[in-house]
Chain A
Amino acid sequence: MTRPMKQAGSARSGDAQVDVELTVNGEAIRRSVSVRMLLSDFLRHELGLTGTHVGCEHGVCGCCTVLIDGKPGRSCLTLAVQANGYSIRTIESVAAADGTLHPVQQAFKECHGLQCGYCTPGMVMNVLGRFEEEGPLDLSDDGIRELLSGNLCRCTGYLNIVAAVRRAAELLGRS
């Protein structure tokens, strides 16, 4: 198969910048960003929202999970430019302004669903997104483990995290 010759000038040496407008935790944000900046780095480095953690940076660990237009997604597998026009929610928006924990956070605290806490922001955002999704929620052990299957924890062994999700469902009247 013949392909057209690569045009002179298509080789890129500079880091292209693009203007993006998005909403982060309810606040309208305008920035000029490098097109290769990941959303996770944008949140942490540009906006100082370091609650979104970065683990593997290839979509496996789930630490960087945020809500992208209300749905849990990997901020390390999303470019900041792809989020142009979107609404992003991070862990910083979850507790009330006076510090009162959200029921999902409260449940993780009550059930000791964390030790070092590194994976917890991603866990909370994933669980929150699934609780806010329409449709039935499978709160059997298998269902909760399926819900959590995209988030790795290297401390707790998951028993308390599963308990925390069930407790969160009780607190939110979803059980």
Chain B
Amino acid sequence: MKPSIFGYEAPTSLEDAIRLLAGDTDAVVLAGGQTLLPAMNFRAANPSLLVDIQHIQGLRGIAVGADGIVVKAMVRHREFELDQDVLCANPLVAEVIQHVAHVPIRTRGTVVGSLCHADPSAEIPLLLVLLGGSVIAQGPSGTREIAAEDFFQSFLTTARSHDEIVIEARFPLLPRRAGWAFDEVTRRHGDYAVVGVGCVVSLDGSGCAERVRLAACGIADRPIRLKDAEAILTGTALGISDLDAAAEASVAAVTQPDDINVSQSYRRRALGALIRRMVVKAAQRAGSAQHAESVA
């Protein structure tokens, strides 16, 4: 047997699942298990109890409404990626998810599970932060909504209490006529990002940036909104000097030290390069061919 000894429960109600978590501080929620099971196979994770939530009613399905996309706890990455309503309402989702591992992992791993695992290099947490989404956590005393920027606290650490289950995530729609882009630097396709950057841009009538949102993963202990860069770019024509200034202002956001993959200075250069590319790509999609020529 690869994993060490653990207990297993498959409750059919949320209340029972929460009770099981509350009764055992070493209990862990099992959804898709695509991060938890490798860790258990290495015996890097040794939970005392797995609470398998897949048989609980009401944790399946995606709902696209006027105020956003609701993704329930058992929705797999692949469902989110291929959902046609999601594709229409927020095409950034599919662009991001195509970078999450490989299809046979995405058919099992869940969107909410990735959020709760909170790997700072992971793409889905970045998506939630970039869009300004939130999660709904349910615990013994009821439910609460936690904004993305409050949810991710540190490496593998979220604002979720031990006895809470995140029952859904809420991803906002893209603003009307906004352009979007996401890309990442990795050693191999499907790996966690060395650095990933997502961008959403809205342009005004004159082709200037009315609203810019930028976020990055892989640079710190959590996904980071690049607010200094956003402020620099907002109101500009997104010219080369604006992009350079935005990239320069983001250098300090890279706090991840040298590691086995790359040095910190490499991460900083990669972040700058991705910011430039993603802002240009998002702006092009927002409909500014004129701007694209000026930076080409």
Q: Do A and B bind each other?
A: yes
**Residues of A that sit less than 8 Å from B by CB:** 1, 3-4, 6-7, 10-16, 18, 34-38, 41, 57-59, 62, 65, 68, 71-74, 76-79, 81-82, 84, 126, 129-130, 135, 146-147, 149-150
- Pick from A34, A78, A147, A149: contact of B37, CB under 8 Å: A78
Tell me whether B24 and A10 are in contact (CB under 8 A).
yes
B117 at the interface (CB under 8 A from A): no
For residue B3, which residues in chain A have a CB less than 8 angstroms away from its CB? 36
Tell me whether B5 and A14 are in contact (CB under 8 A).
yes
Closest residue of A by beta carbon distance from B54: A82
Tell me whether A130 and B54 are in contact (CB under 8 A).
no
Known: A16-B8, A36-B2. 11 other contacts (CB 8 A): A1-B161, A7-B24, A12-B5, A12-B48, A14-B5, A78-B108, A79-B33, A79-B50, A130-B103, A135-B82, A150-B103
Tell me whether B5 and A74 are in contact (CB under 8 A).
no
For residue B264, which residues in chain A have a CB less than 8 angstroms away from its CB? none
Expressed in whole angstroms, the Cα–Cα distance for A84 and B12 within the complex equals 14
16 contacts between A and B (CB under 8 A): A1-B161, A10-B23, A10-B49, A12-B5, A12-B48, A13-B5, A16-B8, A38-B2, A58-B38, A62-B102, A65-B104, A68-B108, A71-B78, A81-B8, A82-B54, A150-B190
How many residues on chain B are close to A (CB under 8 Å)? Answer: 39
Summed over the interface, the residue pairs from A and B with CB atoms below 8 Å come to a total of 120
Tell me whether A77 and B23 are in contact (CB under 8 A).
no
- Pick from A58, A74, A79, A82: contact of B104, CB under 8 Å: A74
The B215-249 residues at the A interface (CB cut-off 8 A) are none
Expressed in whole angstroms, the Cα–Cα distance for A132 and B264 within the complex equals 44
- Pick from A15, A72, A82: contact of B33, CB under 8 Å: A82
B41 at the interface (CB under 8 A from A): yes
B30 at the interface (CB under 8 A from A): yes
B295 at the interface (CB under 8 A from A): no
- Asked whether A149 and B102 contact (CB < 8 A) given A3-B162, A12-B48, the answer is yes
Q: Can you list, as one digit per residue, whether each of B35-75 has a CB less than 8 Å from chain A (1) or not (0)?
A: 00110011000001110101000000000000000000000
Tell me whether B8 and A147 are in contact (CB under 8 A).
no
For residue A130, which residues in chain B have a CB less than 8 angstroms away from its CB? 103
Tell me whether A4 and B22 are in contact (CB under 8 A).
yes
- Asked whether A77 and B103 contact (CB < 8 A) given A3-B162, A16-B8, A57-B2, the answer is no
Expressed in whole angstroms, the Cα–Cα distance for A122 and B49 within the complex equals 30
CB distance from B48 to the nearest CB of A (A): 6
Tell me whether B103 and A126 are in contact (CB under 8 A).
yes
Expressed in whole angstroms, the Cα–Cα distance for A169 and B91 within the complex equals 28
Tell me whether A37 and B1 are in contact (CB under 8 A).
yes
Tell me whether A57 and B104 are in contact (CB under 8 A).
no
B26 at the interface (CB under 8 A from A): yes
Tell me whether A62 and B104 are in contact (CB under 8 A).
yes
Expressed in whole angstroms, the Cα–Cα distance for A18 and B25 within the complex equals 23
Tell me whether B105 and A3 are in contact (CB under 8 A).
no
For residue A34, which residues in chain B have a CB less than 8 angstroms away from its CB? 1
CB distance from A82 to the nearest CB of B (A): 6
B158 at the interface (CB under 8 A from A): no
Tell me whether A74 and B26 are in contact (CB under 8 A).
no
Tell me whether B6 and A36 are in contact (CB under 8 A).
yes
Tell me whether B108 and A149 are in contact (CB under 8 A).
no
CB distance from B20 to the nearest CB of A (A): 10
- Pick from B4, B8, B107, B161: contact of A72, CB under 8 Å: B107
CB distance from B209 to the nearest CB of A (A): 32
- Pick from A6, A18, A58, A146: contact of B24, CB under 8 Å: A6
Expressed in whole angstroms, the Cα–Cα distance for A41 and B3 within the complex equals 12
Tell me whether B33 and A57 are in contact (CB under 8 A).
no
For residue B108, which residues in chain A have a CB less than 8 angstroms away from its CB? 68, 73-74, 77-78
Tell me whether B42 and A58 are in contact (CB under 8 A).
yes
B189 at the interface (CB under 8 A from A): yes
CB distance from B150 to the nearest CB of A (A): 15
Expressed in whole angstroms, the Cα–Cα distance for A129 and B105 within the complex equals 13
A-B pairs, 10 with minimum CB distance: A150-B102, A35-B8, A58-B38, A71-B107, A72-B104, A77-B37, A36-B3, A10-B24, A73-B108, A36-B1
CB distance from A66 to the nearest CB of B (A): 9
